[in-house]
Chains A and B, each alone.
Chain A
Amino acid sequence: MSNLQLTAEGKLKHFLTIEGLSKNILTEILDTAESFVGNADQQIKKVPLLRGKTIVNLFFENSTRTRTTFELAAKRLSADVLSMSIATSSTSKGESLLDTIRNLEAMFVDMFVVRHAISGAAHFIAQQTAPHISVINAGDGQHAHPTQAMLDMFTIRQFKKDFSNLRVAIIGDILHSRVARSQIQALNTLGVAEVRVIAPKTLLPAHVETLGVSVSHNLTEGLQDIDVIIMLRLQRERMTSALLPSESEYFKCFGLTESKLKIAKPDAIVMHPGPINRGVEIDSKVADGAQSVILKQVSNGIAVRMAIMSMAMQPQGVY
């Protein structure tokens, strides 16, 4: 299944999930992204790599940061980009996903960037679409959000240089988080010393240990020896049952405050994929504090998405 992402020569063709991708490919993405960071210093913030290519952002689910950074990344690669928000499209008139794809293919597009509330939507499109088209998963249901995971890996490497000795804590709503799943896979592939998930039992998937993580249900204990803290948003919109007593109760037990942050290593960095619920999972003083790299993550998102898009658009042997 994951081989769908690679060409016969082992090059990236689609980017759907971290699962099944080697350490070499992940490292190549990070290295390539490194060279795109300087693009922001150019007077003309563009490189001509994808000139003449057409990229369609298909967002079946709301997004601000991800859609904007994908759009900017495509534009800085000189591609023509079209962002479709599905509330205004034919899908709301009853057109099937496949028909939408077939129609866009008929307009000679080269890449789909897909966000969908159903897990596997991007895989489905990658299987069905014409062979010259690349598909990038911008988040599917609770399954995967691989570009977010890669920009997080990029940010970690920027501050910590080497993955091998790192202890990384992922804190909060793991159950509903596609970001956490992709992060765990990426961190383990890149070979960190430990991935620790910290959450109440109700917000952890069953058998979470099988993902290759250690588990803690106590923030004060769990933060010890930690180099990288990744906070997750409490996804109230995906909660269909009463998993938590209240937001204030959650903040008391699992919210990251200045005093809790002191338990981690003194040079620990604080990350959050956004959007932030201030005062729910993270205190404003921490989110805006000296150890926070949250806005750095946003900037890095452009360079990492430029790297992934250009790598997937390399010649695929179908011309």
Chain B
Amino acid sequence: MSLENLEINPLINQLESSLKQVILERNLVNPLMIGIRTGGVWIAEALHQRLNISEPLGLLDISFYRDDFSQMGMHPNVKPSQLPPHIEGCDLILVDDVFHTGRTIRAALNEIFDYGRPNQVVLAVLIERDGKQIPISPDCVGTKIKLNPNQRIKLTGPAPLTIQLIEADVVSSKS
């Protein structure tokens, strides 16, 4: 895929069909969908509608669970997480926009498990880029790409939802 022409809709289509297959394979029952703020929530909103999930979408802000507080401090725009009260024993679909180092997902899982013990968690991400640092991988992806260290993907939204490739001198390892 050409990096300059990242079209979002084909990626969401691909993610949707991959997710449908995983829902069947892993036998998810009335799954709850949770989006990670901010980009993950936008992708989750699209998927939530397409998959006709009846339970309301959960929103997760992982600021308090990040592993870089002692280097970076608090995220300035932290928002409350809104998770359904009955995580215990449920099947969850966790959604994020970009999978990079895996640290965001580590933080998200830690936060979710503080609310209760889910039955299973499926991870769906729009784009998986290279640069994984811990042994966590997505179950469903819209696409996989390889980027230079100074490149990162920026999602803008919620409407219209677009993706851009950004080149910078200093790149944070956020995702």
A-side interface residues toward B, CB under 8 Å? 11, 28, 31-32, 34-38, 41-44, 46-49, 310-311, 314-315, 319
Contact = CB atoms under 8 A, between A and B. Distances in A.
Interface string B62-91: 011100011111101111111001011000
Given A34-B80, A35-B80, 5 more contacts: A38-B80, A43-B87, A43-B88, A43-B114, A44-B114
Q: Which of B63, B65, B73 has the most CB of A within 10 A?
A: B73
Given A48-B65, A48-B110, A43 B116 contact: yes
Nearest to B74: A314
Interface of B: 61, 63-65, 69-74, 76-82, 85, 87-88, 110-111, 113-116
Contacts of A48: 64-65, 110
B79 A35 contact: yes
Contacts, number: 53
Nearest to B70: A315
B88 A31 contact: no
B83 to A, nearest CB: 8
A32 B114 contact: no
A37 B79 CA distance: 11
B90 to A, nearest CB: 13
Given A41-B85, A43-B88, A314 B78 contact: no
A35 B63 contact: yes
Given A43-B114, A47-B64, A315 B72 contact: yes
B64 A43 contact: no
Nearest to A39: B64
A42 B72 CA distance: 25
Contacts of B65: 47-48
A31 B78 contact: yes
B36 to A, nearest CB: 15
Given A35-B61, A41-B85, A315-B70, A28 B116 contact: no
Nearest to B78: A35
A255 B115 CA distance: 44
B64 A35 contact: yes
Contacts of B72: 315
A315 B64 contact: no
Contact of B74 (A43, A311, A319): A311
Contacts of B115: 41-44
A12 B82 CA distance: 27
Contact of A49 (B61, B64, B76, B116): B64
